[in-house]
Amino acid sequence: MKPKNNKLKTKVVIIGGGPSGLLLSQILTKENVENIILESRSRDYVLNRIRAGVIEHGSMELLLESGVGNRLLSEGSKHSGFLISSENNEFRIDLNLASGKSVYVYGQTEITLDLYKALDQSGTEIFHEVKNISINDIRTKNPQVNFETSEKVYQISCDYVAGCDGSKGISKNFIPKEKLSFQEKNYPYKWLGILSKSKPVHKELIYANHERGFALASMRNENLSRYYLQTNNNEDISAWPDERIWDELKKRLPSKFSSNIQMGNSVEKSITPLRSIVVEPMQWERLFLAGDAAHIMPPTGAKGLNLAFSDIYYLSNSLIDFYRTGSTSTLEKYSERALSRVWQTVRFSHWMTNLLHTTDEKKSVERQFQLLELQELSINLAAKKALAESYVGTPY
């Protein structure tokens, strides 16, 4: 039987039902800007994705302003600093140096859950497990978004389309290739991550530079730890049983803390390649890109989700300004404003990645420069302040 065609109308179609798409919907809905969300995965799949959990000061404020930040404040863990170690010596970066700001540790999964609860309360329409999405007439005043579910074919008439569908999403494919520029850098190592039902090794994050490779000790809550190890690009996850990971972490983390590691069972284990990609521009006609659809970067410094939220800040303000005033001047500057912060953040992520990761050449000139920079950072207050300011997030 041929699927029935269903015609809908809204102001903004949001492609992608992850945290960035959901947050954009929440902010627009609070301002009475109608929107519809399209998500290729099921709700359960989206809610069970394991992602980063360090939330910048600006992201926290944005979530609070949008009405979904109260649980973050009550259940999240406020962090006013973190540790960096070089070999077996550690020093602390005090985030209070950044005008008294701080970060929160609160899982992306929890943010997504909070946003879904708000979505359910508002009644905003979301379609899950959609396929064959196409964006048409994007150069006209009435773009059309077509898609299918298991039983129906839909057509949505709208004013604007927001592509919040991640690095593998389809939104950017509807911008002419000659209009897009991809700036890419691939790093010569990967991150092996393990999520463990165990008490964190320390109350604050530890970024460890070691001749064997980088390590990170993080957490999701007081009973759930997250660890990462630098591996080479040819590494296979099957070669890393839990016992080997714990043994390597004990070698790379400062002995002061590694002796406290609780070796719990792994809940999730993965290997992630490290790369930076920036797509320019982030808008074309009535289509806008946000989040991983427009940029990705190494997870060093936990900037991915936070940068997506800053995109949403600029995009939501631009759309709200249009529906309040009828002027498109702010919308036309979205890409320029968003990319300014994108490049600052990508640069910081690149710097921090290079500072903390080691190459195979243990006695190379680059390694000596790296150790000298870490030593200088450990004693230079101005350098610590600059790092703290970048870590809590560049102001919007």
pLDDT tens digits for range 202-223:
999 999 999 999 999 999 888 8
128 and 146 in a single domain? The answer is yes
pLDDT in tens, 32-61: 999 999 999 999 999 988 776 899 999 999
236 and 214 in a single domain? The answer is yes
Please report whether residue 95 resides in a domain: no
66 and 174 in a single domain? The answer is yes
43 and 176 in a single domain? The answer is yes
Question: In which domain, by residue range, is 35 found?
Answer: 4-78+104-183+276-351
328 and 201 in a single domain? The answer is no
37 and 169 in a single domain? The answer is yes
pLDDT in tens, 345-389: 999 999 999 999 998 766 688 889 999 999 999 999 999 999 999
Q: Give me the mean pLDDT over the 130-158 stretch.
A: 95
The predicted structure's pLDDT at residue 51: 74
29 and 18 in a single domain? The answer is yes
Say which CATH number the domain at 241 has. Answer: 3.30.9.10
The predicted structure's pLDDT at residue 3: 47
Q: Give me the chain's average pLDDT, please.
A: 94
Please report whether residue 131 resides in a domain: yes
pLDDT in tens, 65-121: 999 999 999 999 999 999 999 988 999 999 999 988 999 999 899 999 999 999 999
206 and 245 in a single domain? The answer is yes
Q: Give me the mean pLDDT over the 303-321 stretch.
A: 97
208 and 332 in a single domain? The answer is no
Please report whether residue 84 resides in a domain: no
Please report whether residue 148 resides in a domain: yes
288 and 158 in a single domain? The answer is yes
Q: Give me the mean pLDDT over the 298-326 stretch.
A: 96
171 and 121 in a single domain? The answer is yes
The predicted structure's pLDDT at residue 5: 65
Position 194 pLDDT exceeds 90: yes
pLDDT in tens, 260-286: 899 888 888 999 999 999 999 999 999
The predicted structure's pLDDT at residue 362: 62
The predicted structure's pLDDT at residue 229: 97
By annotation, the residues acting in catalysis are 79, 207, 299, 303, 391
Instruction: Write a three-state SS string for the chain.
Output: CCCEEEEEECCEEEECCCHHHHHHHHHHHHCCCCEEEECCCCHHHHHCCCCCCEECHHHHHHHHHCCCCHHHHHHCEEECEEEEEECCEEEEEEHHHCCCCCEEECCHHHHHHHHHHHHHHHCCEEECCCEEEEEECCCCCCCEEEEECCCEEEEEECCEEEECCCCCCCHHHHCCHHHCEEEEEEEEEEEEEEEECCCCCCCCCEEEECCCCCEEEEEEECCEEEEEEEEECCCCHHHCCHHHHHHHHHHHCCHHHHCCCCCCCEEEEEEEEEEEEEEECCEECCEEECHHHCEECCCCCCCHHHHHHHHHHHHHHHHHHHHHHCCCHHHHCHHHHHHHHHHHHHHHHHHHHHHHCCCCCCCCHHHHHHHHHHHHHHHCHHHHHHHHHHHHCCCC
Please report whether residue 66 resides in a domain: yes
The predicted structure's pLDDT at residue 1: 37
Q: How many domains does the chain have?
A: 2
68 and 143 in a single domain? The answer is yes
Position 2 pLDDT exceeds 50: no
